Structure formats: structure tokens, C-alpha cells
């Protein structure tokens, strides 16, 4: 299917117009909002924070699950929220509550075109793996890696929720014609899910490197503000496909850009294979622990 540049531009403008007019994003749940406010206030102590979080047992369970994640690699079992705050620290708890807020705000219906649980499992696994990669490669901002990894495909969720009939069209084209999801996205929307996600994240005022990682997670060579972060997300995402763990259909044709992995000091495919095989058990165990997430 050949699409003229002018036609593509028209579709892009139309999609951007709809995105611009999404003013009714669901509100963040009250306890999450309160907790985020407390976390933004540096004078708040651990007790106050634990008290606020404890009002929502669902939140407690999820934070404990994340604190005990295999990819996080803590040595002692975390069984109480007070201990979780102590070992993870305020920033880490803030990251976790932020991503949980995004899940809540984007709660979507599962249909035959997108399985909600599968989507968030992929997002969460990529987020945890990105954080672990950041750790292994000595990238200082692990929290940013977690959030960027978690949100890398948020554009998919946006398309499914706000452009539902277009989502179905993309799904059909990708499954019935011999083209990739990204080609189908461009055919239908004039934009890829990376661009849609980026558009939204920018509107939410996320920091530049995070926006860049979301925009370029399939093409880290285009990254401008932080190649290392973007390459980490690219690699974590690719590993879900390669290991066939927590992978999703729209990522089926991800091509690993080994050259860009140079910033992570991985030089060739052999090293990539070795590296990935070392992560296999971590991914498997992590997937097992995510089962209790939703």
C-alpha cells in the first residue's frame, strides 16, 4: 500500500486534532492523588506516607508485589508497607504510585483486538526490565528508566481508547495484509503509536529524555536527548519478543539496533544473545509475580 506524503500529513493532522481535543482524560483516583501530593512534599515522614497508602489495600498489595519483584533483586522479603517505604525510599514509591495512577486512568475494556491485562503485563515487564538494565549498565536514573519502560507503548492504549474504530482497522490491516503494525498505524492514523504516546506524554509535561525514549523506542538511532535511556527501553522491549515472555503482537517485527547498544557497551549479536540468556530466568520469574498484579 503506497501512501502519498501529503495524504499521510493530512491523516496526521486529523489525528493530532482529535488528540488535542481529548480533554476528558479520566481523573486520577483520590488516594493515589493524595499519596502523590504527600510524596511531593519533602517534609512528609514515612509514618504519614504509610498511613495514607494503607487506606487503599489494593495499593498496598501492588506496592508489596513490586517491592518483591525478582527484577528488583532485593534480598529480604518485604511484607509491610512501612518496610517497603524504608527499603525503596520516597522516590521509588512515587514512581510506583505514578505508574499505578496511569493504569487507573487508562482503564480500558478488553476486547478481541486488545487484551488489557496482556498490555499492562508487557508494559510492566518492560518497565521492570528497563530499571534492571539501568542498574546493570550503571545508568544513574533508574526511576526514569522504569517509567519510560512502563509507558513506552502507552500510545497503543490511547489509540484503543480514543480511536477505537481506527484501532480495529489497524489490527485488521496488520493481520490481513502483509504489513507491520507500524505501517498499518501510518496508513490509518498518519502517526505511529510512538508518536501518539509522545504527543500525550509531552502534554503531561514529562521530562525531555522520557519523551524522547517513548518517541524513539523502536528507533534509538533517532534519539537526541538521551540515547542511553532510549537504548535501554529499546533493548528491554526487544527482549520480551526474543524471550517470548510478556511479548505482544504489535512488537512482532521489532528489529534490534545492535549498533545503538554500543552506548550500553554491547558490541555484537553474540554478546546480545549471551546477555539475553542471562535475563531469561529473571523475566520468567517476573512474569510469574505479575500474575497477581491485575
Instruction: Name the site residues for Fe ion (rule: CB under 5 A).
Output: 153, 237, 251
Q: Which is nearer to Fe ion, 56 or 237 (CB)?
A: 237
Please report how close the Cβ of residue 22 comes to Fe ion at its closest, in angstroms: 20
Nearer to Fe ion, 56 or 251 (CB): 251
| CB closer to Fe ion out of 92 and 251 | 251
Smallest distance, Fe ion to C-beta of residue 218, A: 6
First-last CA distance in the chain: 39
Please report how the helices 154-162 and 193-203 are oriented relative to each other, as an axis angle in degrees rounded to 10.
Answer: 90
Is the Cβ of residue 80 or residue 249 nearer to Fe ion in the bound state? 249
Shortest spacing between CB 28 and Fe ion, in angstroms: 24
Minimum CB–partner distance for residue 56 and Fe ion (Å): 29
In angstroms, rounded to a whole number, what is the distance separating the alpha carbons of residues 198 and 66? Answer: 26
| Of 141 and 241, CB closest to Fe ion | 241
CB of 278 to Fe ion, least distance (A): 21
Burial track 102-125 (b if 16+ CB lie within 10 A, e otherwise): bbbebebeeeeebebeebbbbbbb
- The string of DSSP letters for 107-138 reads -----SS--HHHHHHHHHHHHHHHHHHHHHTT
Separation between Cα atoms, residue 174 and residue 183, nearest integer Å = 8
Count the Cβ atoms, other than its own, within 10 Å of residue 54. Answer: 14
Amino acid at each position: 500500500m503506497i501512501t502519498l506524503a501529503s495524504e499521510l500529513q493530512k491523516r496526521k493532522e486529523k489525528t493530532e486534532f482529535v488528540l488535542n481535543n481529548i480533554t476528558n482524560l479520566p481523573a486520577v483516583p483520590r488516594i493515589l492523588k493524595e499519596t502523590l501530593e504527600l510524596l511531593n512534599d519533602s517534609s512528609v515522614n514515612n509514618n504519614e506516607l504509610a498511613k495514607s497508602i494503607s487506606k487503599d489495600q489494593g495499593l498496598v498489595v501492588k506496592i508489596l508485589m513490586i517491592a518483591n519483584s525478582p527484577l528488583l533483586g532485593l534480598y529480604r522479603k518485604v511484607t509491610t508497607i512501612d518496610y517497603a517505604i524504608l527499603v525503596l525510599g520516597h522516590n521509588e514509591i512515587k514512581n510506583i504510585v505514578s505508574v499505578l495512577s496511569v493504569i487507573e486512568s487508562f482503564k480500558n475494556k478488553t476486547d478481541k483486538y486488545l487484551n488489557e491485562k496482556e498490555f499492562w503485563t508487557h508494559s510492566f515487564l518492560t518497565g521492570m526490565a528497563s530499571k534492571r538494565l539501568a542498574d546493570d549498565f550503571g545508568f544513574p536514573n533508574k526511576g526514569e528508566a522504569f517509567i519510560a519502560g512502563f509507558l513506552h507503548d502507552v500510545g497503543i492504549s490511547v489509540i484503543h481508547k480514543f480511536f477505537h474504530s481506527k484501532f480495529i482497522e489497524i489490527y485488521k490491516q496488520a493481520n490481513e495484509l502483509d504489513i507491520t503494525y507500524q505501517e498499518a498505524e501510518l496508513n490509518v492514523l498518519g502517526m505511529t503509536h510512538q508518536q501518539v504516546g509522545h504527543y500525550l506524554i509531552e502534554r503531561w509535561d514529562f521530562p525531555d529524555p522520557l519523551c524522547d525514549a517513548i518517541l524513539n523506542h523502536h528507533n534509538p538511532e533517532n534519539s537526541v536527548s538521551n540515547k542511553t535511556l532510549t537504548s535501554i527501553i529499546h533493548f528491554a522491549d526487544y527482549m520480551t519478543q526474543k524471550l517470548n515472555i510478556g511479548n505482544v503482537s504489535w512488537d512482532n517485527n521489532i528489529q534490534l539496533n545492535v549498533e545503538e547498544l554500543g552506548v550500553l557497551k554491547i558490541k555484537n549479536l553474540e554478546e546480545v544473545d549471551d546477555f539475553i540468556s542471562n535475563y531469561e530466568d529473571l523475566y520468567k520469574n517476573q512474569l510469574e509475580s505479575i500474575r497477581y498484579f491485575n
